[in-house]
Structure formats: C-alpha cells, structure tokens
C-alpha cells in the first residue's frame, strides 16, 4: 500500500532520517495501519461537514497589550548551541 | 505512618484543615515512597521521572482548597525548572521556563508538586512501553503493563505512591491506564481544562484530567482544574462548577449500552464484569437500554488519521535549534553537518519508534494528493460520530461501556504489532473524537486483574457523570488495596 | 521568510540587466504579493512587544519561541487592522475565517509551521486603483537569520544565528490579481498601496526596515493571447527601485528564453540588486508540500457587528478619494490635490488650516501652495516625492502636526498675504519665525514691522528713489526691456525689508516711468 519510495519521500518531508534497515519495516507497519484506516473510504460521507474543532464557539481574541518577555539568558538557556546572543544553527545555504 | 498514606486526598484535605495531620509529614511520607520507587530500578514500578527532593513551603494559606496534598504530574506538563521530557529522549533534561496553567492552578489551590510521572513518549501509546525512560510496571502484576499513555500516573496512584495524579487523555490515555490499574480516571469535556503548558500530542483531542483512588477525589481535583484560560484559545468557561458527588442511588437514570462497543473484540472476562456492574446499576434504580452508535466502529480509523496528522505538525518544533537534543555532526567526511543533516539525524536519534511511525503516518495523511482521502474523510467521520452521540443522548442520560477491551496484558506482548496495540483504544476513542466527558471506574476483576467501566455523558455533564460513577462505585465496593505497596 | 533550499542554489544564466526588447511581441502579466507588518503593540499570537532593533532574542516568550506546550492566541488589533485594510480595498469581509498551519522546516520558523490563512481568509476580492485584489489574509512573520560565517562550534561549516525578536510579528498579506502589465506600473501601484496603508495607520510601511515586502509573480504571453504563460515568483524585494529593476530583469530573462524558443520553468527566484543577477531559490526536486490543515489550537475568527463598526469608525479618507474631493470640491489643481492626498500629514494640516476661522480667510489654492511649497520644505522634506521616484520615508519631523506651526496660524498668514496686507517676501520671514518658535502671525508682523507698505505716498517715494539710483535700468525699462526692472524692484525690497508688494512696486515703476 505504501512503498519504499513513498516512505523515503514522507521521511524527507518530516525531516526524519531512516537507516537502511528501518525503511522496509516502516513501509510494512504503515501499510498495515493504512489498510485498517482505509475502511473509512467505504463510508458514504457526501454532504457531511468536516469537524476541525468539537468546540462550538468562535475564537476569543487577545487584547493588544504587551506582556513581559523572557530574559534573554532564559530564552537561550536550553539551546544546544548558542553564539552571540542567538541560537546557533548550521547555515541553511551551507 | 502508613495510615496517612491510606487516606484519600479528600480525607487528607479534611485532616490537614482540621489540624490533625501535618501537610509536611504527609508530603515527606509520599516523597520517601516515591523516591524509593525511583531508586529501586528493576524491582520498582518505574513510575517517576522526577521526584521532589524537598518538601515545598506550605501553601500560603491552609484554607487553600487542597492545601498540603501532594500531586504527581504527568511528565508532559511543563513545570518551571523541573524536567519536563514528555517521555522522550529528544527532551532529555529539558527545563521549561514556565509552568502549565493547570499545574499552576492546582499549586495555587494548595497542592505540592510531588513528582513527574513516566509516560509513553509524547503520550503515544497504550502500554507505557514507549517511554524513553523505561516501561512502567503494573502494581497488580509486575509482568504486566499499566496501560498508557498516563501509565506512570495510574501505577503511582494504584500503588499508593501518590494520593492522586494528573494525566492527559487524547484517545484514552487517562481512562485506559486507570482501568488497567484499578483506579478512577476522568477525561473532561474538551476545552474545559486549559492545555497551555501541556506538551501537545494531538491538539484537537488532548485533555488533562485526574487519576485518583476514588470518584470523590476525581471530582475534587477536577474542580480546581477546569476554567477558561486566556492563554488557550480553545479553553472554555465551565458552566457552573464541579460539585463533590454524593449520590448513592441511580433512580431514573437512563444508561445506554452501545452494541458497537460491547460485542466483538471485548474479552469475555471483561464483558462479564461489565454485565455484572450493569446489573448492579439496575439494582440501584437505573434503567439500562441499548443505544446505537453506528459510526463508533470507524472511530479508531478516524482517530489514527487525525491524531497522527496533528502530531506530525506539533512535533515539528523538535528540531535541535532552541531546546532538547541536537545530534552531533555526521562523521561522514563528504557530508558536512548541514542543516538538513542536523534536522534529520536529531529527529532520528531523538524520537522513538512509535513516535516516528505516527509522524510518518500523519505526514503522509496530510501530504499532497492524500489529504482528502485521509484527513478530510477522517474529519467527516468525526462529524458523524458526534452526531451519533447527540442522537444517543436524546434517548439516554449516559452511555456505559467497558473502558478497555482487555485487562492488563503482558509487557512486550503487543509491542511488535502496532495495530493490535491501537485496538486498546477501541472503546475510548469515540468519546475523544466527540469531545465529551468520560470516566473510568474499576468494576471488578477478571483473571485477578482490574476491569474498568466507562461512563460518558454529553458535553459539560461532568457532574452527572461523577454522580453516577459515585453511586456505582459505592455499590460495587471495589477494593484496590492489594495493589498498594 | 519562505523556505529556502538546503542544497546549493542553482544559478540560472544571468540576463543583461535592462528593459525588455521593445517590440511588444510579448505581454508581461504580473501579480503582486505584499507582506505588510502591522503596527500593533504586540505580536500576532503572543503578548511580546514588537521589536525595533532591540538586542537579539530579548523580545521572546514561550509562544513565539515555539516552546513545548505553548499555544497561540490571536491579537484582536491585528484582526481590526486586517478589517480596515479590507474596507480600504473594498474587499468582502469574511464573517468567519480560519487559520491554517503551513508546515515546513526552517530555523527561522520555531514551530515547524507558520500560522497563516489558507482557503478561508479574512478578506476576499476588492481593488485598489486599476488592480484587483485577490485576497488579504493574516499570518505571522518569521524570525531573522543572521549569517555568522564559519564557526568552530559547528564542525567546520558555515553557521547562522537565529534572532526571534521579529518572529511572530503580525503580517497582512495582500495578494493581487495578475492585473499589472509593467515594472513601472508595479512600482506606481505599490506606492499607492503604501500611502493607503500609511494613511490607515495600520503599518509603518517602511520598505528599508522590512515592514513592507513584495513578491511578484511574473509571466509572459504572446501579445493578444488570453491564456497565461508559465510564471516565476520573484521573492522579497525590499525597495521600489529593486522591485522595478527586478521585474524588468525577469521580464527580460523570460523574453530571451521565449524568443530563443525555450520554455520558462516555474520556480522561485531571487533578484540580487547589486549584480542584477536572478538566482533560483529552490532546486526542482525539492518540491514543497506545505501540508496545510486547520490550526487546531485556534478556533475560527468570527467577525461580529461590533468589530465591523469599530473598523469602520477607524477608517480615514483614503488618498484616491481625498485627491478627487480636493479637486472637485475645493477646486485645487490636480498636482496640489495629488500631493495633499498622498502625503496625508500635509493633507490633514491643510484641511485643518482651511477649517480655521481666520479673517481674512485664505483662498484654498493659495493655502495649498503654502502648505506644500513653503511649509513642507521648511520642516525637512521627508517624503515630498512619495508619489514620485524615491524610497525615502516620511520622518516624523516632516509632519506639520508635530511642528510649532498651528494650522490656524498658517491660515491667518496666507489670508494676510491674499489681502495684500503682508507681502509674499515678508510672509516667508513670518513663516520662518512660526517654524522656529510658533506664535501668532499678526503679532509677529506687528513686532517685526513687516506690514505691507501699501500703494501710498511712502512707497511711491521709495520707488522714485530707486529709479534715481538705477538710472541705467530705468532707461532700459523705458525702452521696453521688461527684465531690466529687477534691480529696481530689488532696491525697493531692500529699502522696505521685503514689506512691499512686488506687483504694486512694478505698477508704480511703470507709472513713474510713463512706460
Ligand atoms: Mg505569506
Ligand atoms: Zn512572544
């Protein structure tokens, strides 16, 4: 139902590295779940509205009033790599 | 000393308020027990990922409504300066700079943070075997799972290592472990408890709730959890308040039994205990009848599209940039540590197998060309399931089912078959999709292991659900003492 | 910021910079997408104050850092501003709109998705000038990536740091229909949009600082053909000059391909204003799949009557409408009307001055000339050419409302000039005083002795003396050389310290010379 190429494509979208020996079991397990899930394709759902939220109200908005920010050292405290007061990452263009 | 540990939370509150029990002594007694379990390695239950190393300063006022009662909190609730790892390697040692709204509310109500409890990674699992910090054992039988994902919370309360605990429920993650551990667990109406500070699994389904020794404690804890939070746009003002249940009869209460959730796939011993409890309910004056939930058999399929889809997006923030794990640079010389490499290997190394599976499943279900067939359809099934409940509640006041299809199963028994594991949520997922309140109470034993009974009601019918659960609980007289350490 | 390739950007051949070949074989079809940073106090989904150059990572909180467990809550004023933009553009305002998640990985996107709007935006349709609007939606801005070069800490490769101060700033994205046909038209239209947004007060609209950013979708089709060609998307141009040059360069590039019999490839491009080069931002195999789905953390935004009323109440007269009114109701020249309409602060001052009860009252056109030609330059010519060529932005210093000159004072001064009670030259001196220290023009005139010398004997005497002192010039005027009057008038002005009325002086000169 879902093949090796699809698994690799989805893994790439999800930014998940898969070791060579993880690809085939992933394809098998996903296929098993998708086979089960595919039963909902048999239902007649014409004209049925989708439910995104069970809450039947509309969103409360927030007044445009400033709240205190985190001190920078707190914001950076849990980062794996920090430099010059910012979060250090490999350059996207590298 | 062990006497105080036998008290329900409600009883402890009363004794502390009356001055006959010291909050500090109570906390110390629990802290010692929890620390012993943490330190026991293989011989313990592995309920906790963190235990307080000192007794917190007493609540500002001893009049606070739950003053002095220690609280165990599922790992995925952010607690400022206290490890909050959601059972994942990717958040190992993560110390949040803020505390989840519901935890803060309970602290303001006088509860002291006793411990963080083990869980399935990012709340994905029904056995607690998906924790990066080791499986939790069921206090009724240490070779068996406690259920999940709030398995640490359930096992801790069942074993008497904590008076009560917070859990979260996305498709059954409070109710199913409560059932497998012989305690009470309640998932309230979606939106009634703030999700702010709960590390998200599936945003449209996640709800916090209590795991307690009895129904009264569940009501007491929930009473101080509910309420609108301006930090959570999906949270709602709870109409009225949660009252402490006192009902002992079920006269005139109409209980509906959906045939779709009480037939095939439910273990015989579980069904026996369930039927016996129904007979008891009738003896208390309830009127039991059949109701239909025609789309309930499809709930699991819809759930295993919607929850992974939301999770795949919710877990995208774990990218090695601002917190948590970052994989070391690749050793392959020709492949320098570029951004893509950092992302993919951080997430490969940081997430466990089940989390990866669900991220893959959810990413696939949302991806171009598949959205309508999977996510779009699942959302429509969700609408049908809500409609089913609405019709059912035109005929009955409450719906009752077994909570889980089986009693606690053996560690490792289902780890190799994801689909078999997912079937644990068969009876609990429909209520999650509909966002309605549901409680699990222990209703008997099968093979010497607890069986859970689920009672569900319409949105915001928490008090009605708690009252019925209370009456039934008293009448059933389930004794969980043998699980306590 | 949009996702960028994790692989080396593929260089496309560099076209010669310059306009397209001008034989109208191909017609450019251009649609614009403009990201407007909204001038709210706080971010789109959290209470962090917006950042204006603060030190990196000092304007963050759990929400805009994407910390585990944090949740977004919509800023009411961002919705309010979005509605005002929709009203200004004549859009349909959706009674119910939905936020979606746009999923992709990039270090400036803390949650791994941008909260944006997808198939149910806040505003649909409308137009500004001759360009139709497709939609306007709300979303959050990305953080800022700062390239820091090679870093020892990341294994010998290039590194960047992320500053989340800007992350989460509210944006309104305005998307036009493909109604633009040239680079120049794009530039002109953007200036109209900018002045409209500025007038609404919903944005600082400062391109250099990134509060207004433009992408252009560009395609070419054979002239006369209905069907659209393959389009490319030119990203993130941050000045009017670059927008025009970038679009021109891309039109030229596509035209060259088509004339050579080739095919334009649909891709996202970056224009480098320094080199004139256009580079591809994404390699082809990196197909983007944003996996949009409704944001489960936010409920639909419902626009009720109260919100609509509030947005309407905050609407101001927009430039196009004001220009029309100034011309038709007040009889101003087209140029004056345009200038006062497009520089809202001048227009507001003008209208306030016109409303002032002063006697003698100033004629509207004269007042307009004084506001735009005399007052504005004295205040620092912030944006005199907002409707013209430059990118310069109006500094607050050029706003007359912030100056010491009261609208009623300018009105009084211009009234005195019109009644010939103060000469133009003297009035300029009075205005210098007003700009420097404020005050009442009548009082300054009296204190400085600047009242006009009317056509009485005194002025006639001074003219006679001037003729005597400039006999040569007087002779040439007598002989019909009109220009020769200059030194004579200059003499009179010097003698009267500019208080004499130039026209009256000229009349007296001619009278006395019998010429
Ligand atoms: Mg955008
Ligand atoms: Zn913030």
Helix, coil or strand: residue C17: coil
Report the pLDDT value the prediction gives residue C320, as an integer from 0 to 100. Answer: 85
Matching residue, tokens 């992408």: C215
Report the pLDDT value the prediction gives residue C387, as an integer from 0 to 100. Answer: 38
Report the pLDDT value the prediction gives residue C459, as an integer from 0 to 100. Answer: 87
Q: Buried b / exposed e across B328-343, counting CB within 10 Å, b at 16+?
A: ebbeeeeebbbbbbbb
Mean pLDDT of all residues in B19-35: 94
Q: How far apart are CA B235 and CA B227, in angstroms?
A: 7
Residues within 5 Å of ion ligand 1, judged at the Cβ atom: C 173
Q: Which residue from B46, B54, B208 is spatially nearest to B132, judged by alpha carbons? A: B46
Report the pLDDT value the prediction gives residue C344, as an integer from 0 to 100. Answer: 81
Band of pLDDT at residue B201, cut at 50, 70 and 90: very high
* Chain C residues interacting with chain B (CB cutoff of 8 angstroms): 6, 62, 65-74, 101, 103, 105, 107, 110-113, 154-157, 162, 289, 291-293, 296-299
Matching residue, tokens 């329900």: B8
Report the catalytic residues of B: 74, 149, 173
Preceding peptide of C360 cis, ω within 30°: yes
Report the pLDDT value the prediction gives residue B63, as an integer from 0 to 100. Answer: 74
Report the pLDDT value the prediction gives residue B328, as an integer from 0 to 100. Answer: 77
Matching residue, tokens 């794009």: C186
Q: Using the beta-carbon criterion (under 8 Å), do A40 and B301 form an inter-chain contact?
A: yes
Using DSSP bridges, classify how beta strands C144-150 and C113-117 pair: parallel, antiparallel or unpaired.
Answer: unpaired
Confirm if B16 and B62 have CB atoms less than 8 A apart. yes
Sign of CA dihedral C349, C352, C358, C364: positive
**Which chain C residues are Cβ-neighbours of B190 within 8 angstroms?**
none
Q: How far apart are CA B302 and CA B244, in angstroms?
A: 35
Report the pLDDT value the prediction gives residue B61, as an integer from 0 to 100. Answer: 64
Q: Which residues of chain C have pLDDT under 70?
A: 1-23, 150-157, 282-287, 381-397, 454-455, 515
Q: Which residues pair with C6 in a beta bridge?
A: none
Task: Report the percent of chain B where pLDDT is more than 70.
Answer: 97
Sign of CA dihedral B314, B316, B317, B323: positive
Structure tokens at B79: 């607690």
Report the pLDDT value the prediction gives residue B60, as an integer from 0 to 100. Answer: 58
- pTM metric for this prediction: 0.88
Q: Which residues pair with B16 in a beta bridge?
A: none
B97, B100, B367 member nearest C289 (Cβ): B367
H runs (alpha helix) in B121-214: 151-158, 175-181
Determine the distance separating the centroid of ligand 1 and the alpha carbon of C139, expressed in angstroms: 7
Q: How far apart are CA A84 and CA B2, in angstroms?
A: 55
Q: Which residue from C345, C344, C367 is spatially nearest to C355, judged by alpha carbons? A: C367
Three-state SS annotation for C210-229: CCEEEEEEEEEEECCCCCCC
Report the pLDDT value the prediction gives residue C396, as an integer from 0 to 100. Answer: 39
Q: How far apart are CA A29 and CA B125, in angstroms?
A: 15
Q: Which residues pair with B398 in a beta bridge?
A: B255
Q: Which residue from A80, C101, C395, C262 is spatially nearest to B349, judged by alpha carbons? A: A80
Task: Return the DSSP state at A54.
Answer: S
Helix, strand, coil content of chain C in percent (nearest 5): 40, 20, 45
| Cβ neighbour number for residue C316 with a 10 Å cutoff | 15
Lowest mean pLDDT among B265-269, B353-357, C153-157: C153-157
Longest pairwise C-alpha distance within chain C: 95
Structure tokens at C316: 């101001």
Q: Using the beta-carbon criterion (under 8 Å), do A94 and B357 form an inter-chain contact?
A: no
Report the pLDDT value the prediction gives residue C384, as an integer from 0 to 100. Answer: 38
Find all residues with CB under 8 Å of C514, minimum gap 6, and list them: C478
State the burial class of residue C177 (Cβ atoms within 10 Å of its Cβ: 0-12, 13-18, 19+).
middle
State the burial class of residue A75 (Cβ atoms within 10 Å of its Cβ: 0-12, 13-18, 19+).
buried
Tell me the CA end-to-end span of chain C in Å, nearest whole number.
74
Rg (CA), chain B: 21
pLDDT per residue as tens digits for the range C405-441 = 999 999 999 999 998 888 888 899 999 999 999 999 9
Average pLDDT over all residues of chain B: 95
Mean pLDDT of all residues in B403-412: 97
Report the pLDDT value the prediction gives residue C6, as an integer from 0 to 100. Answer: 34
Report the pLDDT value the prediction gives residue C207, as an integer from 0 to 100. Answer: 83
Structure tokens at B449: 């292991």
Helix, coil or strand: residue B8: coil
**Which chain A residues are Cβ-neighbours of B195 within 8 angstroms?**
none
Report the pLDDT value the prediction gives residue C30, as an integer from 0 to 100. Answer: 97
Structure tokens at C114: 């941008």
All partners of chain A with 3 or more CB pairs under 8 angstroms:
B, C
Report the pLDDT value the prediction gives residue C15, as an integer from 0 to 100. Answer: 42
pLDDT per residue as tens digits for the range A32-75 = 999 999 999 889 999 999 999 998 787 789 999 999 999 999 99
Report the pLDDT value the prediction gives residue B12, as an integer from 0 to 100. Answer: 96
């Amino acid at each position: 139902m879902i093949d090796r190429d699809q698994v690799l494509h989805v893994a790439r979208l999800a930014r998940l590295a898969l070791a060579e020996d993880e690809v085939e079991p992933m394809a098998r397990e996903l296929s098993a779940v998708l086979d089960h899930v595919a039963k909902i394709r048999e239902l007649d759902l014409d004209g049925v509205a989708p439910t995104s939220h069970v809450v039947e109200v509309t969103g409360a908005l927030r007044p445009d009033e400033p709240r205190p920010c985190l001190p920078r050292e707190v914001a950076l405290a849990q980062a794996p790599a920090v430099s010059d007061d910012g979060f250090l990452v490999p350059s996207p263009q590298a | 000393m062990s006497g105080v540990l036998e008290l329900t939370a409600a009883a402890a509150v009363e004794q502390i308020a009356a001055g006959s029990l010291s909050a500090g002594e109570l906390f110390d007694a629990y802290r010692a027990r929890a620390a012993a379990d943490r330190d026991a390695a293989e011989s313990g239950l592995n309920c906790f990922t963190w235990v307080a190393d000192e007794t917190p300063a007493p609540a500002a006022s001893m009049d606070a409504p739950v003053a002095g009662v220690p609280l165990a909190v599922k790992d995925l609730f952010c607690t400022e300066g206290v490890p909050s790892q959601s059972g994942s390697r990717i958040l190992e040692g993560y110390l949040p700079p803020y505390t989840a709204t519901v935890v803060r509310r309970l602290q303001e109500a006088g509860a002291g943070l006793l411990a963080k409890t083990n869980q399935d990674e990012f709340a994905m699992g029904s056995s607690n075997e998906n924790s990066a910090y080791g499986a939790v054992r069921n206090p009724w039988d240490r070779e068996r799972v406690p259920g999940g994902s709030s398995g640490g919370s359930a096992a801790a309360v069942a074993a008497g290592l904590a008076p009560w605990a917070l859990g979260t429920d996305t498709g059954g993650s409070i109710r199913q472990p409560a059932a497998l551990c012989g305690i009470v667990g309640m998932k309230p109406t979606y939106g009634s408890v703030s999700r702010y500070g709960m590390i998200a699994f599936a945003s449209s389904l996640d709800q916090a709730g209590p795991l307690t020794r009895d129904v009264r404690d569940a009501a007491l804890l929930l009473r101080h959890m509910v309420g609108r939070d301006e930090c959570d746009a999906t949270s709602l003002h709870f109409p009225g308040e949660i009252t402490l249940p006192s009902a002992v009869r079920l006269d005139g209460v109409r209980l509906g039994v959906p045939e779709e959730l009480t037939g095939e796939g439910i273990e015989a011993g579980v069904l026996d205990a369930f039927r016996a409890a129904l007979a008891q309910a009738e003896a208390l004056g309830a009127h039991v009848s059949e109701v239909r939930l025609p789309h309930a058999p499809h709930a699991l399929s819809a759930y295993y599209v919607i929850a992974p889809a939301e999770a795949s997006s919710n877990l995208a923030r774990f990218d090695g940039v601002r917190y948590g794990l970052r994989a070391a640079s690749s050793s392959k010389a020709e492949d320098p540590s570029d951004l893509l490499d950092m992302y993919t290997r951080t997430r490969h190394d940081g997430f466990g197998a089940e989390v990866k599976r669900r991220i893959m499943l959810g990413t696939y279900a949302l991806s171009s060309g598949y959205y309508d067939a999977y996510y779009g359809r699942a959302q429509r099934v969700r609408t049908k399931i809500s409609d089913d409940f609405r019709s059912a509640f035109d005929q009955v006041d409450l719906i009752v089912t077994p909570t889980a299809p089986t009693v606690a199963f053996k560690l490792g028994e289902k780890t190799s078959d994801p689909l078999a594991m997912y079937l644990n949520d068969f009876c609990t997922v429909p209520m999650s999709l509909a966002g309605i309140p549901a409680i699990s109470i222990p209703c008997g034993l099968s093979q010497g292991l607890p069986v859970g009974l689920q009672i569900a009601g319409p949105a915001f019918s928490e008090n009605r659900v708690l009252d019925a659960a209370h009456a039934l609980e008293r009448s059933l007289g389930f004794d969980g003492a043998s699980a306590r350490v | 910021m949009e996702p960028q390739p994790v692989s080396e950007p593929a260089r496309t051949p560099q076209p010669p910079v310059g306009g397209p070949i001008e034989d109208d074989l191909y017609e450019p079809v251009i649609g614009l997408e403009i990201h407007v940073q909204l001038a709210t106090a706080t971010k789109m989904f959290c209470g962090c104050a917006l950042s204006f150059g603060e030190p990196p990572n000092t304007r963050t909180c759990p929400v805009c850092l994407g910390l585990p467990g944090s949740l977004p809550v919509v800023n009411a004023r961002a919705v309010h501003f979005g509605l005002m933009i929709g009203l200004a553009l004549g859009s349909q305002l959706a009674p119910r709109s939905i936020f979606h998640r746009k999923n992709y990985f990039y270090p400036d996107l803390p949650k791994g998705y941008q909260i944006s709007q997808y198939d149910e935006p806040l505003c649909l349709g409308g137009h500004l000038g001759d360009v139709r609007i497709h939609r306007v939606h709300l979303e959050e801005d990305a953080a800022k990536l700062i390239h820091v070069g090679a870093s020892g800490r990341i294994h010998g490769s290039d590194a960047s740091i992320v500053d989340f101060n800007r992350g989460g700033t509210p944006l309104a994205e305005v998307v036009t229909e493909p109604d633009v046909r040239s680079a120049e038209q794009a530039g002109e239209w953007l200036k109209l949009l900018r002045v409209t947004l500025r007038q609404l007060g919903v944005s600082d609209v400062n391109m250099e600082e990134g509060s207004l950013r433009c992408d252009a979708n560009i395609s070419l089709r054979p002239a006369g053909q209905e069907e659209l060609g393959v389009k490319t998307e030119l990203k993130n141009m941050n000045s009017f000059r670059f927008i025009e040059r970038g679009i021109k360069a891309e039109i030229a590039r596509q035209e060259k391909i088509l004339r050579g019999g080739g095919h334009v490839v649909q891709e996202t491009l970056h224009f480098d204003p320094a080199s004139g080069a256009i580079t591809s931002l994404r390699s082809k195999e990196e197909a983007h799949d944003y996996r949009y789905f409704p944001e489960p953390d936010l409920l639909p935004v419902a626009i009720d009557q109260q919100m609509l009323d509030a947005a309407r109440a905050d609407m101001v007269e927009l430039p196009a409408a004001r220009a029309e009114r100034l011309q038709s109701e007040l009889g101003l020249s087209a140029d004056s009307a345009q200038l006062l309409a497009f520089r809202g602060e001048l227009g507001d001052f003008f209208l306030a001055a016109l409303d002032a009860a002063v006697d003698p009252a100033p004629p509207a056109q004269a007042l307009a000339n004084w506001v735009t030609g005399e007052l504005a330059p004295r205040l620092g010519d912030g944006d005199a050419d907002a409707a013209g060529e430059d990118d310069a932005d109006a500094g607050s210093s050029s706003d007359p409302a912030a100056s010491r000159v009261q609208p009623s004072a300018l009105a009084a001064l211009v009234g005195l000039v019109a009644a010939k009670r103060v000469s133009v030259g003297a009035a300029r001196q009075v205005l210098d005083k007003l700009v420097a220290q404020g005050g009442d023009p009548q009082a300054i005139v009296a204190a400085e002795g600047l009242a006009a010398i009317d056509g009485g004997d005194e002025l006639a005497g001074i003219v006679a003396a001037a003729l005597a002192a400039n006999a040569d010039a007087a002779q040439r005027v007598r002989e019909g050389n009109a220009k020769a009057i200059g030194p004579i008038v200059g003499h009179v002005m010097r003698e009267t310290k500019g208080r004499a009325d130039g026209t009256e002086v000229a009349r007296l000169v001619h009278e006395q010379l019998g010429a």
